[in-house]
Amino acid sequence: MIANHYPEFDYEADLALLKQAVIQSKITYPVAQDNVGQTWRVYNNRYWPTLYLIDKRGDIRYQHIGEGGEQEIESAIQMLFAEPYP
């Protein structure tokens, strides 16, 4: 998992605050800071939060908008893990 942080508010662009939030939230995966929204635009994203699952070929195979949906997301992850490598 890799998170992409695109700040909604100006203060969220501060790298020190982002680092502090990652530590406080006990996030163990990499978090990219995307202050100019470059990645956000590449994915044509419109909503906070949005989760994308990308398969072994680099194709988006699942998208979840909003919070919740943990069971459905877990099922989608397991399905992708079970697929053979191309």
Mean pLDDT of 27-47: 94
Say how far apart CA 13 and CA 10 lie, in whole Å.
Answer: 6
CA-only gyration radius of the chain, Å: 14
CATH (domain of 20): 3.40.30.10
Mean pLDDT along residues 19-23: 96
Average pLDDT, stretch 69-84?
94
CA dihedral sign of residues 6, 8, 44, 54? positive
User: What total of structural domains would you count in the chain?
Assistant: 1
Range of the domain at 22: 3-82
Alpha-helix residue ranges (DSSP H) falling in the chain: 15-24, 38-42, 70-82
Determine the pLDDT at residue 30.
96
Mean pLDDT computed over 47-64: 93
Q: How far apart are CA 76 and CA 53, in angstroms?
A: 8
> Is this model's pTM higher than 0.75 or not?
yes
Grouping H, G, I as helix, E, B as strand and the rest as coil, residue 10 is helix
